[in-house]
Amino acid sequence: MTAGSTVELVKLRKTYGSTVAVDGIDLRIAAGSYCCLLGPSGCGKTSTLRMIAGHEDISDGDLLIGDSVVNGEPPARRGTAMMFQSYALFPHLDCVDNVAFSLKMKGVGKEERRRRAAEMLDLVDMGRYAGRLPAQLSGGQQQRVALARALITRPGVLLLDEPLSALDPFLRVRMREELKRLHRDIGITFIHVTHSQTEAMALADLAVVMNQGRIEQAGPPRELFNRPRTAFVARFIGGHNVIDAGVIGDAGRCAVRADRIRLGGAHPADIQVEGTVRSLEYHGATVHLGLDVAGAEEFAVVLDEAGYFDAPVAIGDRVRAGWNRTDVHPLAS
Amino acid sequence: MTVTAETSRSPAPAVARRAKRSRLLPRVAPYLQAAPLTVTLLLFLLVPILTIVAVSFWDYDSVRIYPDFVLTNYVELLTSPVTWKTYLNTLKYAALAWAATLGIGFTVAYFLAFHIRSTTWQMVLFLLCTIPFWTSNIIRMISWIPFLGRNGLLNSGLISAGIIEHPLEFLLFSDFAVVLAFVHLYTLFMVVPIFNSMMRIDRSLVEAARDGGASGAQILWNVILPLTKPGIAIGSIFVVTLVMGDFITVRLMSGGQSASIGLMIANEISLLQYPAAAANATVLLAVVLIMVAAMLRVVDIRKEL
């Protein structure tokens, strides 16, 4: 439909009074890629998105969309479209008029804009509900309408502010798939803010982990998962144990994937620690154990179901956990 | 086993009695709960209105009134050109006051709701709007007189500034003065409901509109105005009903030179023509109710209540 645009942030900064929300970040998002901004609340991801959208003034630095600096431009002239967290559908307009809103603002005739809005509603499979008001739609349906409204401007970049957080878990997984399909079909750049690492892992070509207004690490999800740069990334992305390297006779801290750890002395392991089983969760295909281990705040072990039930343990048991030296990943302090 | 059976049998009659009472109570309770409001409305709303309607069919002479069923009060009222002229005049006041209070009220509410960022300042400025209401209506009207009068502050100020040579006559004891006083008295009734409607508008809707390329004026017209309609309707009902029934403002500010329906009724009462006044009041009530019904047809205010 439309070609995507590259988005480039250069020393982008946002301050509210003396509070620094975004602290001079640099990031280049390739045209047509799916980028997830990921981080805990208050990390600056939403401020970053809103600056890209043009709903927040840029305190310092530059924002490039395509080849031009768009710092002071109004949202409509940036070639971006935003989908809001609460969808922000106009409650007094039906689906068609909601989708056609931006065309109306541009002065497109009534027939023409209603026809194009109907096409767009068909694209998100909402053609049947064209005449309904937002209040008569379910959360998932509202989201499709919001998506259609954002896409009708033919943006080069689609900005999504926590688009899935208002949905129930089942719908969330389905909408996630649909977002991905839509991204593949229309080929524009998606920038998606989320606090869920699962969402980022499932969707992103480029995942950007933010913390306290800075980018901790940016890269493909697999790189983030296998080579987290800092302890923060390792903890946030999940599935990792952050250990004081003193335990294994080294300086600094390191990360070990929880699913690489084996229990008991039977398995050959380069490094072994002792701990007490504190928690035990059965997840179906896997069993998750929490251990109290010296030198680690939290120590998780993920065993496959068969592996666990070959040699089950109970809460309170002393166990030996071991892993190979090749599985140790050093972290920057 | 026997012990438990015994203990469960002995309190059985008491339980049954309580059950019977508790079956009756749920049926009566809703009516009891609704009764105080019903009685109050009956006593203070329905009975007076029915009395007025009844009296409007009575006969009267210069001394006393007679219980009767005559239509002469209505015939005289509706065939008199004075009535029609007065109705037109009252409707003119209502229309002018409505337009002015709507314009000012919408602007003030918009400023408070969308341009004042901090809630504290919103509250402070909002309370500031209510300060004039700490004095009585009459005082607020009378204080216009030394300001607007022939040798009042405004005229002498304009003359000494060299803007005008002769005092402006239309300022006081005129339609202008009447409408000015109405606007002064009733704008807050417009500000409050509109402000209330505006505060309920999700701010992300404004951003979504801007995201769709809407200019400030387009946002106002396409998003804020439609979503403020219920507030506008409620404010309009307040202003229109208050102005339609007013008599003291018209008397004071027009210097007795203009008439309104309220003033007409007041004059009839002072002449002890109660049945005529009652007929007039009944017609006024019907007219105002029709106006309110028309406004409610245009705007659905239910979601605001």
pLDDT, tens digit, for every residue of A41-75?
989 999 999 999 999 999 999 999 988 899 888 88
Answer with the residue of higher pLDDT: B162 or B283.
B283
- Angstroms from A103 CA to nearest CA on chain B: 8
Cβ distance B212 to A101 less than 8 Å, yes or no, reads yes
Q: Which residues of B touch A88 (CB under 8 A)?
A: 202, 204-205, 207-208
The answer to whether the CB of B287 falls within 8 A of the CB of B241 is: no
pLDDT at A96 over 90: yes
Please give the domain boundaries of chain A with CATH numbers for all domains. 7-231 (3.40.50.300), 239-331 (2.40.50.100)
Amino acid at B57: F
Q: Which residues, other chains included, contact B106 with Cβ-Cβ below 8 Å and sequence gap of 6+?
A: B190, B194, B228, B232
Mean pLDDT of the B32-59 span: 93
pTM, two decimals, is 0.81
For residue A29, the SS3 value is strand
**Domain locations along chain B:** 14-55, 80-304
Contact B213 A149 (CB under 8 A): no
Give pLDDT, residue B18.
Answer: 62
Mean pLDDT of A119-145: 91
pLDDT grade, residue B5 (50/70/90)? very low
How far apart are the C-alpha atoms of B2 and B8, rounded to whole Å?
10
Contact B213 A92 (CB under 8 A): no
Phi-psi region of A61 (alpha: psi -120 to 50; beta: other; left: phi over 0): left
Per-residue model confidence (pLDDT) at position A323: 86
- Asked if pLDDT for residue B296 goes beyond 60, the answer is yes
CA distance A38 to A210: 6
In this structure, of A21-30, A83-92, B13-22, the range with the lowest mean pLDDT score is: B13-22
Does A88 contact B218 at a Cβ distance shorter than 8 Å?
no
pLDDT attached to residue B2? 42
CB A19 within 8 A of CB A41: no
Mean pLDDT of A95-110: 93
Chain A residues with CB-CB distance to B208 below 8 A = 82, 84, 88-90, 149
Nearest-neighbour CA in chain A from B108: distance (Å): 23
Q: Which of A50, A80, A84, A97 to substitute to test the interface with B, most B CBs within 10 Å? A: A84
Give residue B4's pLDDT.
45
So what's the pLDDT on residue A47? 93
Contacts of B215 in chain A (CB under 8 A): 105
Distance in angstroms between the alpha carbons of the first and the last residue of chain A: 45
The one-character DSSP state at B224 is: I
Q: Are A63 and A51 in contact (CB under 8 A)?
A: yes
Predicted confidence (pLDDT) at residue A146 exceeds the cutoff of 90: yes
Q: Look up residue B128 and give its two tokens.
A: 């500031």
Pairing outcome for strands A34-38 and A206-211: parallel
A325 touches chain B (CB under 8 A): no
Q: What is the pLDDT of residue B7?
A: 46
Backbone angles phi, psi at A159, to 5 degrees: -105, 125
Highest mean pLDDT among A139-148, A317-326, B12-21: A139-148
Of the listed ranges A291-305, B112-126, B217-231, B232-246, the least confidently predicted one is A291-305
Asked if pLDDT for residue B6 goes beyond 60, the answer is no
User: What is the structure's pLDDT at A296?
Assistant: 77
Count of helix runs (H) and strand runs (E) in chain B: 16, 2
Task: Kindly identify which residue of chain B lies nearest to residue A149, measuring between CA atoms.
Answer: B212
Give pLDDT, residue A249.
Answer: 61
Contact A88 B210 (CB under 8 A): no
**Interface list for B 221-240 with A (CB within 8 A):** 222-223, 226-227
> Exposed e or buried b for every residue in A105-125, given b needs 16+ CB within 10 A?
beebeeeebbebbbebbebbe
* Nearest one of A35, A142, A146 to A83, comparing CA atoms: A146
In sequence order, what DSSP letters do the residues of B113-174 get, joined into one string?
A: III--SHHHHHHHHHHHHGGGGS-HHHHHHTTHHHHSTTSHHHHHHHHTTS-SS--GGGSSS
Spatial CA neighbour of A263 closest among A313, A329, A208, A222:
A313
CA distance A193 to A170: 20
Q: Is the pLDDT of residue B1 over 70?
A: no
Res A118: pLDDT: 93
What is the C-alpha to C-alpha distance for residues B93 and B260, in angstroms, rounded to an integer? 9
Record: contact A75-B204, CB cut-off 8 A: no
Nearest to B227 among A92, A105, A150 (CB): A92
- Percent of chain A surpassing pLDDT 70: 96
Phi, psi of A109 (to 5 degrees): -60, 155
Closest among A3, A40, A84 to A194, alpha carbons compared: A40
d(CA B211, nearest CA chain A) in Å: 5
Report the C-alpha gap between A226 and A326 in whole angstroms: 12
- Indicate whether B305 pLDDT > 70: no
Residue of B205, B206, B207, B211 to mutate when probing chain A, most A C-beta within 10 A: B211
Residue-level pLDDT at B303: 65
- For residues A90-109, give the mean pLDDT: 93
Confidence check: pLDDT of B209 > 70? yes
Note whether B210 contacts A81, CB cutoff 8 Å.
Answer: no
Give the rounded distance of the alpha carbon of B152 from its chain centre.
Answer: 32
Model confidence at A8: pLDDT above 50: yes
pLDDT digits (tens, 9 = 90+) for A235-287: 898 888 888 877 666 667 888 898 888 887 666 777 888 889 999 999 989 99
Of B211, B213, B215, the CB nearest to A53: B211
Predicted pLDDT at B13: 58
B38 touches chain A (CB under 8 A): no
User: Assign residue A300 a region: left if phi > 0, alpha if psi is -120 to 50, beta otherwise?
Assistant: beta
| pLDDT at B103 (0 to 100) | 96
pLDDT > 80? residue A176: yes
Architecture of domain B80-304: Orthogonal Bundle (1.10)
